[in-house]
Amino acid sequence: MLFRVGDFSAMIAVVLYAIPPAVRYTDHGIRKIPPALIEAARTSGCTRRQLLWKVQMPLALPEIMLGRQPDHHVRAFHAGDYGAGGAPATWARRFTSR
């Protein structure tokens, strides 16, 4: 059941396909924050967790969302390649059922 082509393997493939862009854009968004803002937050007494969640993540959010849009569209399309429906499966049924 684990290695057959079907819904479960499609879900695993889609999740594995979606992880690298999300990680890459999150890293890029956090790294492009000006050091002066990070220093100001540390000077104000922020802990590392507060610095991440209250300063870095809100400032990196536009970059993170930039990476989510193409990924969201591609996941629905490629799920059909692995047997979980989606656009390719619908098209294949339409063209082969005649």
Q: Is residue 11 part of a domain?
A: yes
Domain, as residue range, for 38? 7-96
Q: Is residue 15 part of a domain?
A: yes
Q: Is residue 1 part of a domain?
A: no
Report the predicted TM-score, pTM, of the whole model to 2 decimal places. 0.62
Q: What is the pLDDT of residues 13-44, one digit of tens each?
A: 777 777 888 889 999 999 999 999 999 999 99
Q: What is the pLDDT of residues 54-64, one digit of tens each?
A: 999 999 999 98
Q: Is residue 61 part of a domain?
A: yes
Give the separation between CA 52 and CA 59, rounded to whole angstroms: 10
Q: Is residue 89 part of a domain?
A: yes
**Residue in 96, 95, 77 with CA at minimum distance from that of residue 18:** 77
Number of domains the chain contains:
1
- DSSP per residue, 12-78: HHHHHHHHHHHHHHHHHHHHTS-HHHHHHHHHTT--HHHIIIIIIHHHHHHHHHHHHHHHHHHHHHH
Q: Is residue 2 part of a domain?
A: no
